[in-house]
Amino acid sequence: MDAQLDKLKFDANGLVPVIVQDVANGEVLVMAFTNREALEETIRTGKVHTYSRSRGRVALKGESSGHFQHVKEVRTDCDRDAVLIKVEQVGGACHEGYRSCFFRKYENGAGDWEIVESKVFDPDAVYKK
């Protein structure tokens, strides 16, 4: 039992949103959801685990790509209903090949969000290994 995790306010599905941030430059890498088990695994292993709602299970971030997120610090907010994890990111956090999932920027008057980052790896090569 971990008394600190007991103090988090998980939602009706046992989840809280989690923000993963690059400890080196502050870049927000990904926003996902986590649960009690994924947080315990994250703390135990030092690698970010999240709860994948699409797969219905706890998943090690980077399990197929090798792009692990090494945990440097875990924080929660005033309401204890969100988690922030600062990490050292291997490769890129985004399955589309970008360092951060937040590679699309709002541009006033544009028809679509503009891609403002460059890919750091080729997802076809990485996920077909």
x-or-dash pattern for its own copies, window 79-118, by CB under 8 A?
xx-x-x---------xxx-x--xxxxxxxx-xxxx-----
* 30 makes contact with its own copies (CB under 8 A): yes
The least CB distance from residue 17 to its own copies, in Å, is: 5
The least CB distance from residue 79 to its own copies, in Å, is: 8
* 77 makes contact with its own copies (CB under 8 A): yes
- The CA distance from 90 to 112, in Å, is 30
- The CA distance from 108 to 114, in Å, is 10
Closer residue to its own copies in complex, CB, 63/73: 73
With contact defined as beta carbons under 8 Å apart, do 19 and 31 qualify? yes
> For residue 104, what are its two tokens?
């699309």
Element (H, E) at 56: none
